[in-house]
């Protein structure tokens, strides 16, 4: 495997504050040994643009953004606003602004033609610190509720995510834990009863297959999950011993870096391959 070319600080849940930015980035820079540091923060609580200003002041040269029609809400800060703020700080962004304008107008036109959402800045919402739902998952859950004709239940779902996260011991809301908590909360809201439907991943989590929970779990919830009939097949399950060579055989045409990315963010077909390899199917 190759060396590390860049260190990316990612805040997909959007709960990074300007105050924490001022302490976190210098700490990472001290340990980076000269490796460039980038910042990727979502706008879930409306503070990401301010965090980017603080990061720029601290010498961060790469800030992840989106063109304005696709920015804000639970996405990234807009590139247009980020560039404007950078100029106010005395920097000179070198992006091709004519090309940027063309790209932005292209996506705005598509959104208007298809009736898609255009990102707008969000107000500060302290509830986000409880559920810490990553930005990408927010769109997925909106779509799933829409498919069920239950679009009006998003706020209810977010409250349930906070509750499930607490019952699961406050796991860090990153893959795979955010998906496990989010899926369980969705079933709790839409299936007619809390923990009436339990996905395999929630059972595996409670059995410690994903590692020990970060905090104490609700024992009543744990008993309910592990008391379900489908939990029996996981009680004595042990992961298969997999070598790097086994993983390379899944996608032999990929480079090491691309294979690691595919494993970390598997699409459905590749996830099925991983499940079969690990004996989960």
In order along its 281 residues, the chain shows pLDDT tens digits of: 356 788 999 988 999 999 999 999 999 999 998 899 999 999 999 999 999 999 999 999 999 999 999 999 999 999 999 999 999 999 998 899 999 999 999 999 999 999 988 988 888 989 999 999 998 888 889 888 999 899 899 999 999 999 999 999 999 998 889 999 999 999 999 998 999 999 999 999 999 999 999 899 999 999 999 998 889 889 888 777 878 888 888 888 888 888 888 887 777 788 888 878 776 66
Q: What is the pLDDT of residue 223?
A: 96
Q: What is the pLDDT of residue 276?
A: 80
Q: What's the Cα-to-Cα distance from 30 to each of 33, 34, 40, 211, 260, rounded to whole Å?
A: 7, 9, 19, 30, 27
Q: What is the pLDDT of residue 135?
A: 84
Residue 246: both structure tokens together: 């086994």
Residue 142: both structure tokens together: 């909106």
Q: What's the Cα-to-Cα distance from 233 to each of 203, 210, 227, 276, rounded to whole Å?
A: 10, 16, 12, 15
The answer for residues whose C-beta is within 8 angstroms of residue 96's C-beta and 6 or more apart is: none
The per-residue b/e assignment along 143-154, b for 16 or more CB within 10 angstroms, e otherwise, is eebeeeeeeeee
Nearest residue to 173 via CA among 141, 212, 203, 130: 130
Q: Cis link prior to 88 (omega < 30° from 0)?
A: no
Provide the CB-side half-sphere exposure for 45 (13 A, CA). Answer: 23
Asked whether the CA dihedral 269, 257, 132, 65 is positive or negative, the reply is negative
For domain 7-114, the CATH class is alpha beta
Within a 10 A sphere around the Cβ of 39, how many other Cβ atoms? 26
Domain 128-235 has CATH 3.30.200.20: no
Residue 254: both structure tokens together: 């990929």
Q: What is the pLDDT of residue 240?
A: 73
Where do the structural domains in the chain lie, given as residue ranges? 7-114, 128-235, 244-277
Q: What's the Cα-to-Cα distance from 247 to each of 250, 254, 255, 278, 281, rounded to whole Å?
A: 6, 11, 12, 10, 17
121 bridge partner residues: none
Nearest residue to 14 via CA among 128, 111, 120, 105: 128
């Amino acid at each position: 495997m190759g060396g590390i070319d860049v260190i990316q600080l990612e805040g997909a849940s959007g709960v990074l504050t300007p105050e924490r930015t001022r302490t976190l980035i210098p700490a990472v820079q001290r340990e980076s040994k000269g490796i460039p540091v980038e910042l990727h923060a979502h706008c879930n609580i409306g503070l990401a643009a301010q965090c980017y200003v603080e990061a720029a002041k601290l010498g961060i040269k790469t800030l992840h953004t989106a063109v304005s029609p696709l920015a804000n809400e639970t996405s990234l800060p807009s590139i247009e606003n980020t560039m404007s703020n950078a100029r106010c700080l005395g920097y000179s962004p070198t992006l091709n602004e004519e090309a940027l304008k063309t790209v932005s107008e292209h996506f705005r036109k598509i959104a208007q033609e298809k009736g898609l959402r255009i990102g707008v800045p969000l107000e500060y919402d302290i509830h986000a610190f409880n559920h810490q739902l990553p930005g990408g998952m927010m769109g997925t859950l909106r779509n799933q509720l829409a498919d069920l004709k239950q679009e009006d239940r998003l706020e209810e779902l977010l409250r349930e995510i906070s509750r499930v996260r607490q019952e699961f011991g406050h796991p860090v809301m990153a893959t795979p834990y955010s998906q496990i908590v989010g899926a369980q909360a969705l079933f709790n809201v839409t299936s007619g009863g809390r923990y009436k439907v339990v996905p395999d991943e929630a059972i595996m989590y409670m059995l410690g297959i994903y590692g020990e929970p970060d905090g104490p779990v609700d024992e009543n919830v744990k008993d309910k999950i592990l008391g379900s009939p489908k939990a029996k097949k996981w009680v004595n399950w042990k992961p298969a011993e997999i070598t790097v060579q086994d993983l390379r055989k899944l996608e032999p045409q990929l480079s090491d870096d691309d294979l690691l990315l595919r494993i970390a963010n598997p699409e459905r077909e590749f996830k099925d391959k991983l499940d079969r390899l690990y004996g989960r199917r």
